[in-house]
């Protein structure tokens, strides 16, 4: 059909030339030209209809399941991609909108200026509640250490900037002392969570920082736990990876929520008093105040990130 169309166009050009040579009237030329244009228009329409029919025949030869898949698969992949992005971004945005503003008014006070926090060597807390250690000036040879690999935050030793502080309890280490206890948070569906005293592995248990108080004693056990995005939160005892997400929602706790600690067969009941956020270098959260019997829960915030540390402080009531 394209050949025929080209022939008509060539015929139209020839008609113009003949008309100019013979002196044919303009009206006659226009009439003949219009006839040629009408023929060309009809040919264009026929060609378009032919192409549509040909495409339809090709499409009809493809199985319906393939045609349906060609439409559904891209839509499904696009929707899944939007869901993945939204599931990662939405909890963090919700944390900043709902949880974080309430924490700004209850930030913990550092016992020393923030500019000098990293110069305390080491942080040692004795039974009198005083903090030992001297403020040392920075050596000229000291340079920042650049870490070019992703840290494993299931290892507690990576939670603080610099080396881990050493706490002195003033107590003689006894082999018969209980090194594990359990923790329940009914409002978060956390039951019988294992807490180890000392260590750094957060994959298999919570960690009570060694050197902080024992449950029920003056001071505060400081318990660390891992967090992930809230949609992956599953603290069930049947979940073999429960400790990877167990503290994901502790910053949603409210004042008055109950925390139960069972240590050496004795249950201790704590009530949440306040929540706060601190920077990764703020090791003063380990400081013990021996005029109170408290409990501190610590995790990374916002959930699923490692930007800051969220601290929940609870008071022993019985």
Can you tell me the distance from the alpha carbon of 40 to that of 11, in angstroms, rounded to the nearest whole number?
Answer: 11
Neighbours of 209 (CB within 10 A): 24
List CB contacts of 246: < 8 A, sequence separation 6 or more.
190, 193, 206, 225, 226, 227, 235
**Model confidence pLDDT, tens digit, residues 19-48:** 767 766 667 777 777 887 788 888 888 888
Q: What is the mean pLDDT of residues 170-184?
A: 71
**Percentage of residues of the chain with pLDDT beyond 90:** 28
Read off the tokens for 249. Answer: 């929602």
Q: Strand, helix or coil at 303?
A: coil
Provide the token pair at 288. 């013990």
Dig out the tokens for 285 from the structure.
Answer: 């959260």
DSSP secondary structure string for all residues of 178-204 = --EEEEEEGGGTEEEEEEEES-SB-SS
CATH of domain 123-132+150-316: 2.40.260.10
Instruction: Report how far residue 253's alpha carbon sits from residue 188's, in angstroms, rounded to the nearest whole number.
Output: 8
Question: Lowest mean pLDDT: which of 4-13, 98-107, 136-145?
Answer: 136-145
Residue 224: both structure tokens together: 């660390």
Identify the weakest region by mean pLDDT among 13-22, 41-50, 300-309: 13-22
CA distance 108 to 195: 24
| pLDDT tier for residue 106 given thresholds of 50, 70 and 90 | very low
Residue with the larger pLDDT of the pair 47 and 87: 47
pLDDT tier at 134, thresholds 50, 70, 90: very low
Q: Where are the domains of the chain?
A: 2-61, 123-132+150-316
Considering 114-118, 142-146, 197-201, the range whose residues carry the highest mean pLDDT is 197-201
CB 167 within 8 A of CB 124: yes
Supply the angle between the helices 2-22 and 26-61 in degrees, to the nearest 10: 170
Going by C-beta distance under 8 Å and a sequence separation of 6 or more, which residues neighbour residue 99? Answer: 251, 252, 302
Q: What is the pLDDT of residue 128?
A: 43
Distance in angstroms (rounded) separating the CA atoms of residues 100 and 314? 19
């Amino acid at each position: 059909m394209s050949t025929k169309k080209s022939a008509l166009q060539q015929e139209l050009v020839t008609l113009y030339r003949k008309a100019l040579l013979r002196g044919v009237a303009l009206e006659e030329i226009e009439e003949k030209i219009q006839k040629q244009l009408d023929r060309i228009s009809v040919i264009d329409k026929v060609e378009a209809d032919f192409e549509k029919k040909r495409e339809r025949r090709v499409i009809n030869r493809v199985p319906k399941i393939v045609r349906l898949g060609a439409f559904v698969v891209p839509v499904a992949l696009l929707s899944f991609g939007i869901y993945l992005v939204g599931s990662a971004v939405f909890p963090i945005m919700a944390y900043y909108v709902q949880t974080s503003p309430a924490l700004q008014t209850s930030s913990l006070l550092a016992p020393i200026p923030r500019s000098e926090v990293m110069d305390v060597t080491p942080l040692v807390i004795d039974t009198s509640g005083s903090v030992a250690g001297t403020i040392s000036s920075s050596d000229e040879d000291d340079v920042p250490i650049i870490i070019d690999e992703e840290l494993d935050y299931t290892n507690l030793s990576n939670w603080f900037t610099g080396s881990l502080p050493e706490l002195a309890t003033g107590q003689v280490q006894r082999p018969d002392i209980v090194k594990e206890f359990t923790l329940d948070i009914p409002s978060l569906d956390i039951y019988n969570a294992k807490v180890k005293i000392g260590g750094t592995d957060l994959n298999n248990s919570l960690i009570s920082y060694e050197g902080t108080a024992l449950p029920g004693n003056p001071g505060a056990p400081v318990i660390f736990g891992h967090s992930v995005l809230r949609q992956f939160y599953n603290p069930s005892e049947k979940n073999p990876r429960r400790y990877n997400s167990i503290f994901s929602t502790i910053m949603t706790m409210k004042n008055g929520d109950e925390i139960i600690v069972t240590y050496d067969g004795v249950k201790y009941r704590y009530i949440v008093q306040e929540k706060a956020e601190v920077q990764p270098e703020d090791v003063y959260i380990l400081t013990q105040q021996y005029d109170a019997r408290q409990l501190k829960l610590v995790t990374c915030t916002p959930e699923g990130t490692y930007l800051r540390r969220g601290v929940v402080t609870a008071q022993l009531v019985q």
